[in-house]
């Protein structure tokens, strides 16, 4: 089933008379500097940061699912387009899908947070995908360069394994190959 392309027309409303900003289909918004948000998040424990970011993602996933009607039927390309549109409306960067065998890898370019915000971006993606597909997933940052971060979306167990492999010095390409090999044997 083909999904309608993401249409940002009239998605953000600025009401200067009342001093309010709204994104279509969600609660009121505020504009704040990205560095202030990162500094605030750095002052709280990891679980609170993850919960905060998942809530942001959950809302993006809910809006995408509402627009798509049936996220499963829309296909991954349609879902990524709509989630990417929502992430862009939130100012988090540009989302794209990369194909690495059976692995679902999402890349975010242009995030205002830089490397310090990758933990938040991973949790935003986790919340968005969980909400859009009603599936429990784990998201792991695979790699980052100056402008782009790559994130693997997989099962919670797969995410734990990939984190362990990366922490032990395995390259992210090799970690994906290991995960793909396990999936081919029905173990992932």
96 pLDDT band (50/70/90 cuts)? very high
Q: What pLDDT, on the 0 to 100 scale, is given for residue 171?
A: 96
Residue 134: other Cβ atoms inside 10 A: 11
146 pLDDT band (50/70/90 cuts)? confident
Q: Which pTM value belongs to this model?
A: 0.85
User: Rounded distance, CA 152 to CA 143, Å?
Assistant: 10
Least confident of 45-49, 129-133, 139-143: 129-133
User: Rounded distance, CA 101 to CA 176, Å?
Assistant: 8
Could you give the C-alpha distances from 15 to 7, 20, 59, 97, 178, in angstroms and in order?
21, 5, 21, 34, 51
pLDDT in tens, 67-84: 888 766 767 888 889 899
Average pLDDT for 172-182: 91
* Token pair in block for residue 108: 């975010």
What is the set of domains in the chain, with CATH numbers? Answer: 12-184 (3.30.1380)
Q: What pLDDT, on the 0 to 100 scale, is given for residue 114?
A: 86
Q: Does the pLDDT of residue 26 top 80, yes or no? A: no
């Amino acid at each position: 089933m083909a999904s309608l392309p993401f249409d940002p027309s009239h998605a953000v409303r600025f009401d200067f008379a009342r001093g309010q900003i709204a994104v279509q289909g969600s609660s009121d918004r505020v504009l704040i500097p990205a560095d202030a948000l990162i500094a605030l998040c750095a002052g709280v424990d990891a679980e609170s940061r993850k919960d905060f970011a998942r809530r942001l993602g959950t809302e993006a996933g809910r809006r995408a699912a509402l627009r798509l009607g049936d996220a499963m039927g829309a296909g991954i390309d349609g879902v990524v387009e709509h989630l990417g549109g929502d992430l862009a409306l939130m100012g988090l960067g540009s989302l794209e899908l990369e194909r690495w065998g059976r692995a679902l890898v999402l890349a975010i370019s242009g995030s205002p947070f830089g490397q310090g915000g990758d933990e938040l971006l991973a949790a935003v993606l986790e919340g968005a995908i969980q909400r859009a597909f009603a599936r429990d997933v784990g998201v792991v940052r695979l790699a980052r360069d100056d402008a782009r971060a790559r994130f693997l979306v997989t099962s919670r167990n797969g995410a734990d394994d990939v984190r362990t492999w990366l922490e032990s010095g395995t390259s992210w390409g090799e970690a994906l190959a290991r995960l793909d090999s396990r999936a081919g044997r029905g173990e992932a």
